[in-house]
Amino acid sequence: MPEKISVDAMVAGGQATAGPPLGPSLGPLGVNVGAVVSEINKLTKDFSGMKVPVKVVVDPETKQFEVNVGTPTTAALLARETPIEKGSAGGWKQPVGDLPFAKIVSLSRAKMAASKRKDLQSRVLQTLGTCVSMGITVDGKSPKEVIDMLKKGTLKIPEG
């Protein structure tokens, strides 16, 4: 029995097409590319305008497929929440947006499954690090200041 074949790709949320990168990878496997694209677009519609990692697993014997959707990068999620196209060229010294701490925690929770960090505080610190690079302040403060507050225990991550 042949093993299942997987195809990994980055697609625009809700806008995948039968063209590259999916069509050329899936066509030779004999799977219905249109059905795969339709399923991907249905599963990624909430990430419209963002690049989303997808994995299509195909059984070459039965031509059945399964679509697994990952989450966009932390930077892409932050950019969507602060209406900016890209991060600041000067990092946190030239802020381009501001987010509430609760939103940082919420985005961190959303990324937990895809993260190597298994505790929420580590994941929040990682998200704050991305804020530093992108020039996004947190509740009007430098993300570095918020990181220090978390590490010292003067700021707690809300439950829930």
Model's pTM, two decimal places?
0.76
Which 8-state DSSP code applies to residue 53? E
Q: Note whether 156 and 101 are within 8 A (CB).
A: no
Contacts of 80 (CB under 8 A, 6+ apart): 49, 50, 72
All domains in the chain, ordered by first residue: 5-69 (3.30.1550.10), 74-152 (1.10.10.250)
Q: Give the up-direction half-sphere exposure of residue 25: CA atoms within 13 A in the CB hemisphere.
A: 17
User: How far apart are the C-alpha atoms of 16 and 19, rounded to whole Å?
Assistant: 8
pLDDT digits (tens, 9 = 90+) for 116-127: 767 899 999 999
pLDDT in tens, 23-65: 899 988 889 999 999 999 999 998 888 889 999 999 988 999 9
